[in-house]
C-alpha cells in the first residue's frame, strides 16, 4: 500500500509532467483551462505544482491528453514504485 507521502509525490510528478508537455505544446495555463471547460487557471496552476493539495484526477488527465494530443501514459513518466 502506498503511503500518503508517496501518493503526494506521485501527484507532484504528474503535475510536473503535465506542465512540461503543456509548455512543449505551447499551451498557456489559461488556454488549457478554457479548453477543459474552466473559466480560470486555478485548477491547472494549482495541480501542476500541488498547491493546497490540488492534483489532477483521471478525468482531468484524460481531457488534457486529448487536448494536447499525447498518450496519457506520458503524464506518468518518472514514477517509480
Asked if the structure places residue 22 within a domain, the reply is yes
Structural domain of 27: 4-76
- pLDDT of 81: 82
What is the chain's pLDDT, residue by residue, as a tens digit (81 residues)? Answer: 999 999 999 999 999 999 999 999 999 999 999 999 999 999 999 999 999 999 999 999 999 999 999 999 999 999 988
Interatomic CA distance for residues 42 and 75, integer angstroms: 19
Q: Is residue 21 part of a domain?
A: yes
In a domain, 81, yes or no: no
Note if the pTM is more than 0.75.
Answer: yes
Number of domains in the chain: 1
Q: How far apart are CA 81 and CA 79, in angstroms?
A: 7
Q: What is the CATH number of the domain that holds 39?
A: 1.10.260.40
- pLDDT value of residue 47: 97
Amino acid at each position: 500500500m502506498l503511503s500518503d507521502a508517496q501518493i503526494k509525490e506521485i501527484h507532484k510528478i504528474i503535475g510536473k509532467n503535465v506542465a512540461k508537455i503543456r509548455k512543449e505544446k505551447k499551451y498557456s495555463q489559461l488556454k488549457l483551462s478554457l479548453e477543459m471547460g474552466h473559466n480560470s487557471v486555478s485548477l491547472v496552476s494549482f495541480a501542476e505544482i500541488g498547491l493546497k493539495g490540488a492534483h489532477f484526477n483521471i478525468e482531468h488527465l484524460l481531457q488534457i491528453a486529448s487536448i494536447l494530443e499525447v498518450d496519457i501514459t506520458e503524464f506518468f513518466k518518472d514514477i517509480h514504485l
